[in-house]
């Protein structure tokens, strides 16, 4: 009760005030020894060549590079894309969109024109260094054409998309509150229903959950649809909890 009241006030204020330092940047870090296994080195080289990712290797921090490799590897391994002239993608709950390069590089390979939208309800949440998520996202998105960061509730989005990527949706109330969102925004069934309605026919949704509790909650939300779920290998970046991938294909 008290946490919800505090979250509601803070959330209201940051959406009104939009406070942030500006021009967030990160410096490139040396990647001579990333501590990868032989398998990871082989896979890294394959991804660098296939998706022209070498430039990002030379212009990123170690952690951010590895997190992007992790997502790029998942997309490459599990999301099969039909090449076409224009592809539209929605990323839901983008936070600071630290992984936008992997999404961009992956989908850009399969089209000549790309529309990649990232929607985030809490874009003005501040980090300890006084940059907000939006400002950090601007840095990660720099130079990528067709990429838009939308500061809004996904329920206000009405475009349609060929692919939807949803990494760590809040399917349980505790993480939703812990991340500072008011309870009134917690309605995972309703959120999913709206997101699914934005998918074009034959479109695919790619959802990542962490831990077995979240996976069970997610399966309950998507039951009855055409989907498959698998445990993700920990490659390139070690996450604390098991992560699971669900791929839903719209009829």
Residues forming the site for ligand SAM (CB under 6 A): 92-95, 119-122, 153-155, 167-168, 170, 179, 181, 185, 191
d(CA 193, CA 230): 22
CB nearer ligand SAM, residue 154 or residue 164: 154
Specify the residue, 87 or 150, whose C-beta has the smaller distance to ligand SAM. Answer: 150
The least distance separating ligand SAM from the CB of residue 86, rounded to whole angstroms, comes to 24
* CB of residue 181 to ligand SAM, shortest distance in Å: 6
Non-local CB neighbours of 216 within 8 Å, separated by 6+ positions: none
- Closer residue to ligand SAM in complex, CB, 102/113: 102
Least distance in angstroms from the C-beta of 15 to ligand SAM: 12
Q: Which residues pair with 126 in a beta bridge?
A: 132
Q: Which residue is nearest to ligand SAM (CB)?
A: 93
Of 116, 134, 137, residue with least CA distance to 125 = 134
Angle at 91 between CA 146 and CA 66, to 5 degrees: 90
Cβ 186 to ligand SAM, closest distance in Å? 8
CA distance 8 to 181: 7
In angstroms, rounded to a whole number, what is the distance separating the alpha carbons of residues 15 and 129?
18
Closer residue to ligand SAM, CB minimum distance, 155 or 219 = 155
């Amino acid at each position: 009760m008290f946490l919800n009241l505090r979250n509601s006030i803070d959330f209201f204020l940051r959406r009104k005030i939009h406070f942030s330092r500006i021009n967030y940047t990160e410096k490139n870090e040396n990647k001579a020894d990333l501590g990868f296994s032989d398998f990871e080195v082989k896979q890294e080289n394959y991804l660098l060549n296939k998706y022209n990712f070498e430039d990002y290797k030379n212009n990123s921090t170690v952690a951010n590079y590895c997190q992007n490799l992790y997502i790029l590897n998942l997309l490459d391994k599990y999301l099969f894309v039909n090449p076409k002239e224009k592809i539209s993608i929605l990323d839901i709950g983008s936070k600071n969109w630290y992984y936008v390069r992997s999404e961009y590089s992956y989908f850009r390979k399969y089209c000549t024109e790309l529309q990649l939208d990232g929607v985030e309800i809490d874009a003005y949440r501040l980090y300890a260094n006084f940059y907000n998520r939006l400002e950090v996202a601007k840095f990660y998105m720099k130079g990528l054409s067709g990429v838009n960061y939308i500061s809004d509730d996904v329920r206000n989005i009405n475009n349609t998309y060929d692919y939807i990527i949803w990494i760590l949706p809040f399917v349980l109330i505790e993480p939703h509150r812990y991340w500072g969102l008011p309870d009134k925004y917690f309605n995972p069934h309703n959120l999913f229903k709206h997101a699914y309605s934005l998918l074009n026919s034959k479109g695919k949704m790619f959802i990542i959950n962490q831990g077995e509790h979240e996976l069970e909650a997610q399966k309950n939300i998507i039951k009855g649809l055409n989907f498959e779920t698998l445990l993700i290998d920990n490659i390139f970046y070690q996450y604390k909890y098991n992560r699971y991938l669900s791929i839903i294909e719209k009829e």
